[in-house]
Structure 1
Amino acid sequence: MYTKILVPIDGSVHSQHALSVACKLSEKNSTKVYLLHIPEVIDDKEKLIWGVGFLGAEATFNELYLAGENLLKKAESFAKAKSVNNIETVIKQGRPVSVILEISKQEEVDVIVMGSRGLSDLGGMVAGSVSHKVGHLAQCSVVTVS
C-alpha cells in the first residue's frame, strides 16, 4: 500500500469522506498519515474556520489556529478509531493549492487523498477547484473523493 498519505482537512463532508478513504488505504501502523488544515480568508470581512464556521475579520491568528487545532484533533481521533496510529497534524497558512503541493513534496507523500469539494467551493466555480488543480500539479498520486 502507501507509506505516506496527505489528507487536507477542511471540515466539509467531502474531506471527512477523504479521511475515511485514507484510513482504508493505510497500513494501520506502518503508514504515516498527515492531516493538513489551511485556515482560509474568504474576504476582508470574514475568515472561514473549517468545521467551525465563519469568524469576523477581527478574529486573531490565535483564534484561527485554535479552531484549526480543534478540527485536526477531531480528525485525528477519527483516524485513531479506525486503527491508524502514525499521524502528524499540520496547520499552515497560505493558498490551499500551493500549501498542499508544498507539504506533499516536502514530506515525499505517496498519495494525496482529498475531497472533491470543500467549504469554499463558490470560488472554485470561478477559478477552478483546489482538488482539480492539485490533481494536475501534484508530483504524486491524487485520490479525489466525493
Structure 2
Amino acid sequence: MKKILVPVDGSPVSQSAADMSIDLARQNNSEIKFITVVKVNEIARFSEEGIGYVIDYTKTNEELIKEQTRILDAAIDKYYSSSVPFEKKVLIGKPHDQILKYAEEENCDFIIMGRRGLSKIRRFFMGSVTQKVISNAKCPVMIINESMK
C-alpha cells in the first residue's frame, strides 16, 4: 500500500479517518493524499418557458473553495510534524465522482473515509457519498463509522 486517499469534510468522523490514515501510513511506509471536495452550484438555469439564463455563482464558489481549504488545513495541520509524507488538494464537483476520479488518477491503492449516519430514508433518496465510493472504487475502501469515532 503506497498511496492512501483520505477525503476530509470537516466532520469528526472524517477527522477520525485522517488520524487512522496516519497510523496506517506509518506502518506501511505509505504517503497520504488528503482531499476535500467543493460541491459547486449549477451555472445554468431554465425558466418555466424553457428559456435559459445564467446565474453567476463565481463569488459563492470562491467562498466555498476558501471555506473548504480552511477546513482541510485545520484537519491536517497537526500532521505536519509527523514523519508521514502527504499532499493536500481541494477538488470541485460531485464528491463521490471527484473522490473516485482522483483515486484512479493518482493510483491510490487504499481509501479511508468517514461515514456520517444518514437515516435510511435520506440514504434511499439521496444516496450517500460513502456508498457510491464503496460501490465504484477500484481499490479497497475502509469506512470509519460515526459510532466508531
| TM-score normalised by structure 2 residue count | 0.75
Structure 1 residue ranges (4+ consecutive) displaced by more than 2 angstroms after TM superposition: 27-30, 40-43, 57-62, 78-81, 121-125
1:73 corresponding residue in structure 2: 73
- SS of equivalent to 2:93: coil
1:97 and 1:13 map into 2 onto residues whose CA distance is: 19
Q: Is the 8 A contact 2:38 2:92 kept in 1?
A: yes
1:134 corresponding residue in structure 2: 133
Q: Is the 8 A contact 2:40 2:92 kept in 1?
A: no
Q: Is the 8 A contact 1:19 1:79 kept in 2?
A: no
Q: Which has the larger radius of gyration?
A: 2
- SS of equivalent to 2:92: coil
- SS of equivalent to 2:107: coil
Determine whether 1:95 maps to 2:94: yes
* Alignment-mate amino acid for residue 96 of structure 2: V
* Alignment-mate amino acid for residue 141 of structure 2: V
Q: Is the 8 A contact 1:29 1:86 kept in 2?
A: no
2:35 and 2:16 map into 1 onto residues whose CA distance is: 15
User: Share of identical aligned residues, percent?
Assistant: 32
Q: Is the 8 A contact 1:8 1:113 kept in 2?
A: yes
Deviation at 1:75, TM superposition (A): 2.1
Determine whether 1:33 maps to 2:32: yes
* Alignment-mate amino acid for residue 39 of structure 1: V
The structure whose residues are more often helix, as a share, is 2
* Alignment-mate amino acid for residue 25 of structure 1: L
Question: Number of matched residues?
Answer: 131
Deviation at 1:122, TM superposition (A): 8.3
- SS of equivalent to 1:132: helix
| TM-score normalised by structure 1 residue count | 0.76
